[in-house]
Amino acid sequence: MAIKFIIGRAGSGKTEKCLNEFRQKLLESPSGDPLILLVPEQATFQAEHALVTTPGLRGLLRGQVLSFRRLAWRVMQETGNTIGNPIDDTGKKMLLMWILQQKQEELRLFHASAEKMGFIDNLNSLMSELGRYCLTPDMLKTQLENMVSDTADEVVLEHKLHDLHLVYREFETQLATKYLDAEAYLSHLANQLQFSSLAKGAELWIDGFYGFTPQELEVVLQAMLHFKNVTITLCLNRPYESDEEPNELDLFYPTAMTMIRIQKKIEQLGLSPAIYELLTDHPRFTDRPMLAHLEQMYEQRLSGRRVAYDQPGDEITIYSAANRRAEVEGAAREIIKMVRLDGLRYRDIAVRVRNIEEYGDLIATTFKDYDIPFFLDQKRTVLHHPLVEFIRSALEVILNNWRFDSVFRCIKTDLLLPLVDGKLPRKNSRRIARNEMDELENLVLAYGIQGTRWNDTKNWSFTRYRSIDDAVPDEADPVFSKRMDHCRRTVARPLKALQKRMKDAVCVRDMIEALYLLLEEAQVAERLQRWSEVALLNGRPEKSKEHAQIFDNIIDMFDQMVDILGDENATPELFRKLVETGLESIRQGLVPPALDQVLIGSIDRTRSAQVAVAMVLGVNDGVLPQAMSESGIITEAEREALTNRGLQLADGARRKLMDEQFLIYTVLCSPSKRLWLSYPLADEEGMTLLSSEVIKHTKMLFPYAKSSQLHSEPESTMSESEQASYISTPSKTISYLLVQLKQWMRGESLSDIWFDVYNWYLKHPEWNKKLAILTGALAYTNEEKPLPAFTSRLLYGDQLVSSVSRMELFVACPFSHFALNGLKLKERKVFRLEAPDIGELYHAALSNLFKELQEKKITLGSLNREELLSKTSEIVERLTPRLQNEILTSSHRHRHIARKLTNVLQSSALALHEHDKRGVFHPVGLELAFGPNEQLPALQIDLQDGRIMEVIGRIDRIDVAQLENDSLLRIIDYKSSAKSLELDEVFHGLSLQTLTYLDVAISNSEKWLGMKTSPAGVLYFHVHNPMISNSNPLTEDSVVKEKRKSFKMSGLVLADHEVVRMMDSEVQTGHSELIPVGLKKDGGFYSNSSIASAPQWDKLSQHVRETIGKIGMEIVNGKVDISPCRTSKKTACDYCPIKPVCKFDSQFEGNNHNVLKGMSNDEVWQALYSKRTEETD
């Protein structure tokens, strides 16, 4: 038995010496006693590759590269003592979730945390830690029994120990009898190694470890007892004896303590003292004095013995970057440069980061853009995969009553639809196109379909009321209905089968079988195989392997669930939680798909074999060294308390923080030719990031090291050689070229090198077309040219017909008008009660109320309160089923809303009742339409080109009243929200509706009513149910008065005392409670009265007609400008549904708001009069 340590500092050749001894043994005798190289799990591939590429070595018949786990498997396979089925972290986490649910009533703290994000992960890590450090449930119980809790912190720790003991005991009971986890592997390995022939006469090399857990250390000691020779490499500056106590601030403290522990165990076992070989040379840094100096001086960086390297050199370079993207792109450009100009291979370069989660996706995306082959050494979650989403959403469908989002999440995975083609036929099925699923989605959204309707045995058919006033709905196209019903049945059939099986299931095994049958019926395995093949053909080997592995991952999870909990009873909801836990735990680790590729990995996990260049990114404060946080279940203080009580756990945050320096040392000393250090100055949100102390210390050691900043784009101030570094691959360089050309177009200087690049693209046919498209985009201004006359006529016809609201929309934004009324773009209909639906109900209910009273020849004011409330309720009840596909009768919530809307209309009806009693105006037109074939003709406007424009619409209510010598008309417009008539909006053309309606009514009154009429006013009535708030108690009369005030109409009224009193007979002086007018005692009007004289009404009417004519001409002339208006209160973009279409952005050249100046009423009247004067002149 010989035990040997090979020790030396970083770069001294420890691994190479191990490999050489191993190679020499194989070359001398290809067959014989086993030779085993034991390395960390993540380093096995690299070690095997280093051996098999040895010149003259024909094979590894007696040589094996193993990790602790693989060694355990080999020994247990040989000895036959494989107790239990293997269980991984996925199975363990599902078991822990089950235990927490079952023990919920007994838990003191954990019951509230079981379903919190990350808790199961932390609990599983703690269970593994307890196992690795050989702690048993009984040890926890002993501590719990002996614990005296005097402080609040001690009480919390006592509760944690109670819950830990409860969970750990059940956890270990399950594992001990049935399963074999990672910790159990090591225990069995230590127990069975003595019986294995593998150890008889075998030689063992242990390389790449900085330390060992107690379980791993026990395996190492058993190996010393039973292997012929054991060689251990450690990164150390000198050998340590068993009685030494190194300073915990020493750089090599972690490996020193490892050697001391092994030395003590050797003495305790009575083995021969270990020999050691100290390697003092540094072959890694031959001809690299800067790297050699860094290795020697790093541990002296804070001491007075620090010596700076006073020579310039490029072996160590330091870069800052504006952000992480600029940093990663700079690294990518440097890799391209090193491979092209320095003769390096991609495999000679390693990119290392501290937090792979922050950089992994960004590096992968960037390296793909630069066509850099790479391997990302990161275990990937599978939650993004369609199969995982399919399983999760399918379970949610049956648990959440077939909700829309769950059903269509399931459909959009593409795993639910029939797989119909020549290879994989399915009986009685036809191909369903994706657009049919889109149509089905729109249909389900519009009709609010969910729950039992998905499984309705009757064929789906659809009806819709064209208007709320229609008594009979229209039937949908039967062909369309049949097609949608077929799509519905196709997607519902397998989910309905799953629902039935889950309902009949009595245990977890039955539920797993139900899920598996769903996957089988959906032909998931076949589809994933096809996806994998397609990904491989498209040059995406990693995606191909992901698709190839995922089904096995899921089936393995199912198997473990059956093994662990198969016979247990579970509710569907608990089963869903278990499945969610399992899916969240699955991680895919991929083998490098090629040899010549850049290795990307984390500093603490990834083992990079001999690399020429190490690029360390993200060297920021708090990252390297990493700030340790207490994210686990046991806090730092609690760890210390437990350690003092004799329970040894893993090192706490304080020790890990000190060990960070050793980790930094190993990565800084890993390259043989060059070290790249970089750090971003800001994160993705623009928050400042500081450089790490590593940067500071490196600069102090190497004051002449190259240091510069990485830019996202080439700048004109850069030298030509610096700009040339941005020329990498055609696909990436073209983006930089466009930036340079854009700056050149703005008048900035442009280096000749970019003209050469431009000419290169022109000369290559595969790129010149793309270049033409992209350079064309440089002049893009997001401006729309006017439509040609021919196109305008196709859209709007020879005779322009438009509503007032459309013209107001045109003034607000011509492009919005073009998109919505020219192209007929529409938002898809959603089964949701929105403001327009409520407004439609209000209009229809009030219109029906007045129509029924007119038919009975009674007035609103003649009804008493009870009659009015009853009549209003009856009308609303009749109308609600016709609104939005019966939405107000679809659920308890909507029926409650219907009752509230009824209250609103009853309150509004009472207010209108008061108006009717106090005024002499009465309705003569309700929901009166004007236009071709309507009650009133369209308003015709002569356009400048000789064409006639017809204005159409529908007037809510027209009232009439008789003067001695005249008849008066007023317009009342019902609004579901408060609105007033702003004269400046009328002037600009944003508010034309009520004045146009009044013009139409007056222009046609002689034919329609048999009398000439004059304008009395235009008013807005706010339909609502006011809430009266007052700090003092109110009498019933006060409440009625306050409510009446809240129903005061806004708008514009004829400036005539008699007309005012015809609208409110009770106003003699003072402000009216019903209309926006106040009368003074001297006969005048208060200044805040909203009034206009008869001549002013004429001017308004004339201005409205002229504005409509102007708008009409601009429409027929094809104006479609993206120029939304902006007033002091709002912009046209605020609630515009087509913002994603127009892409209006004030940063685009040509994208400017049409600013409409705010004007007082006096300024408006002055402008109108001056305008008429100018025209007369």
* Residue ranges at the known binding site for [4Fe-4S] cluster: 813, 1133, 1136, 1142
Using DSSP bridges, classify how beta strands 948-962 and 939-942 pair: parallel, antiparallel or unpaired.
Answer: antiparallel
Taking the CA atoms of the chain, what radius of gyration do you get in angstroms? 41
Token pair, residue 557, equals 């999870």
Which residue from 982, 929, 978, 921 is spatially nearest to 956, judged by alpha carbons? 929
Using DSSP bridges, classify how beta strands 463-464 and 474-475 pair: parallel, antiparallel or unpaired.
Answer: antiparallel
Map residue 427 onto helix, strand or coil.
coil
Instruction: Phi first, then psi: give them for residue 227, nearest 5 degrees.
Output: -85, 155
- Type of residue numbered 591: V
Instruction: Phi first, then psi: give them for residue 955, nearest 5 degrees.
Output: -100, 125
Give 1017's strand partners: 970, 1053
User: Mind giving me the DSSP string for 262-323?
Assistant: HHHHHHHHTPPPPEEEEE---GGGTT-HHHHHHHHHGGGTTSTT-----S-EEEEEEEEESS
Burial class (CB in 10 A: 0-12, 13-18, 19+), 380: middle
Length of the chain counted residue by residue: 1177
- Residue ranges at the known binding site: 813, 1133, 1136, 1142
Cβ neighbours, 10 Å, residue 104: 12
In whole angstroms, give the CA distance from residue 297 to residue 278. Answer: 19
Contact 690, 303 (CB under 8 A): no
Contact 73, 636 (CB under 8 A): no
- Type of residue numbered 1048: K
Q: Which residues 6+ apart lie within 8 Å of 333 measured at CB?
A: 370, 725, 726, 728
In whole angstroms, give the CA distance from residue 518 to residue 961. Answer: 73
In whole angstroms, give the CA distance from residue 1076 to residue 1089. Answer: 6
Instruction: Phi first, then psi: give them for residue 1134, nearest 5 degrees.
Output: -55, -45
Token pair, residue 1132, equals 């046209």
Cβ neighbours, 10 Å, residue 711: 16
Give 1055's strand partners: none
Contact 1017, 1053 (CB under 8 A): yes
> Cα dist. 403→407, 408, 451, 459, 496 in Å?
6, 9, 7, 20, 14
Chain-centroid distance of CA 340 in Å reads: 38
In whole angstroms, give the CA distance from residue 156 to residue 147. Answer: 12
In whole angstroms, give the CA distance from residue 897 to residue 903. Answer: 10
